[in-house]
Amino acid sequence: MDHATILHADLDSFYASVEQRDDPGLRGRPVLVGMGVVLAASYEAKAQGVRTPMGLAAARALCPRAVVVPPRMSAYSKASKAVFAVFRDTTPIVEGISIDEAFLDVGGLLKIRGTPADIAARLRADVRHRVGLPITVGVARTKFLAKVASGVGKPDGLLVVPPGEELAFLHPLPIERLWGVGPVTAAKLRERHIHTVGHVARVGEAALVSMLGTHAGRHLHALAHNRDPRRVRVGQRRGSIGSQCALGRRPRPFEEIEATLAALVDRVTRRMRAAGRAGRTVTLRLRFADYTRATRSRSMVKASMQTRAILDTARSLLAENRPLIDERGLTLVGVAVSNLDGDGNVQLELPFQTAPDTDRLDTALDAVRDRFGGKAVTRAASLGRDLNPSVPILSD
């Protein structure tokens, strides 16, 4: 491949940017989006040290002038759809990564639309003109490096890594720029005086494997040399369906956490049935008041999209982790279902019979909520409780 033809387009502080777009009074001011926990921060707030996720009290201490606004998920979803329409008008080869970012392949457009840099510049202008949001685009020969370039180019920038100059650009960067290097891995590497991507490249694969394990060692060695054979894939179905809820910093009774979990499972299973996809593995995600995290998973005997089956599994995982929750305090709970089938097939049990009561109840509730809104029917445990909206995970 002689050209850098892969674009990584990433909206800047997406939630906060939507709020500043829709309310001119917020423009140029530090904005925090969240309820108890910061879900997104404008660059004016980030300049004061605010990061996500961070408790709102801590964020206000760093940035006393910050304006806090509650999340508006419908507005963010509408903006995301408008931006992805711009992506698809740019090239048919678009791979969405999250609500606010995507990879685009423009290799087939060189003769009709100009260089990848020209295409990226027009893309940024189109998003600004049609949607009113800032976006950063990185351009490179690999998906990995295009994403790194967009991160380095933020905010509201365009960064092209020319072929032949990839390692000169990549190697001086800190090790945290490598996919898969979080705080734990970074600490292990820095203990051995490995601080930059170039240091990782010079260590050698065998040494990395001995430090980090086979998969992580080989993965980081390949990325440090910009080896990433993945192509931009169109129409790839998601591997899991999930939802999460920020709980804030105040202590919550366990019964309220259970009610929140049930509301999340209702949302997830409704989406599974709408997509016609059953799943086997239920994953519970927890974030604690000390910012540590825990993930617990369990696979069911057979794939299901029934609310009752998935909720029973999720509740069991939550109950097993109650001592940890009581000790550390919980600020976020999430649930996801993975190992999804491709076409909604569900293994039937013998003897064959008509749909069980749980299936008929799920179908009836879906019909009511589709017609009258998601809050038309709710659980008794949720009445009178302030359950925050579910939020997808965003990149910075």
Kindly report, residue by residue over 108-126, the tens digit of the pLDDT: 888 888 899 999 999 999 9
CB under 8 A, 24+ apart: contacts of 131-134: 131/79, 131/82, 131/83, 131/86, 132/21, 133/11, 133/12, 133/14, 133/17, 133/18, 133/21, 133/79, 133/83, 134/11, 134/12, 134/17
The boundaries of every CATH 3.30.1490.100 domain in the chain are 240-382
Active site residue 255: no
**Positions of CATH 3.30.70.270 in the chain:** 1-162
Average pLDDT, the chain: 85
pLDDT of 312 above 60: yes
The predicted model gives 251-258 an average pLDDT of: 90
Q: Give the pLDDT confidence score for residue 177 in this predicted structure.
A: 92
Instruction: Report the CATH superfamily, name and number, of domain 171-224.
Output: 5' to 3' exonuclease, C-terminal subdomain (1.10.150.20)
| Answer CATH for 240-382 from 3.30.1490.100, 3.40.50.1860, 3.30.540.10, 3.40.50.10440 | 3.30.1490.100
pLDDT at 339: 86
Query: Is pLDDT above 50 for 54?
Result: yes
| φ/ψ bin of 349: left (φ > 0), alpha (ψ from -120 to 50), beta (otherwise) | beta
Taking residues 253-276, report their average pLDDT: 88
**Cross-strand pairs, 337:** 241, 282
- CATH 1.10.150.20: which residues of the chain? 171-224
- If one counts every other C-beta atom within 10 angstroms of the C-beta of residue 326, the result is 11
Q: What's residue 180's pLDDT? A: 79
CATH number of the 1-162 domain: 3.30.70.270
Q: Which residue has the higher pLDDT, 394 or 139?
A: 139
Residue 359 in this model has a pLDDT that exceeds 70? no
Of the residues 101, 165, 205, 255, which is catalytic? 101
Which of 35-49, 165-179, 338-352 is modeled with the greatest confidence?
165-179
C-beta of residue 200 within 8 angstroms of C-beta of residue 178:
yes
Handedness of CA 266, 270, 271, 273 (dihedral sign): positive
Average of per-residue pLDDT across 140-162: 94
Give the global pTM.
Answer: 0.71
Q: What is the mean pLDDT of residues 218-229?
A: 92
Distance between CA atoms of 8 and 96, rounded to whole angstroms? 10
pLDDT at 273: 86
Beta-bridge partners for 283: 297, 336
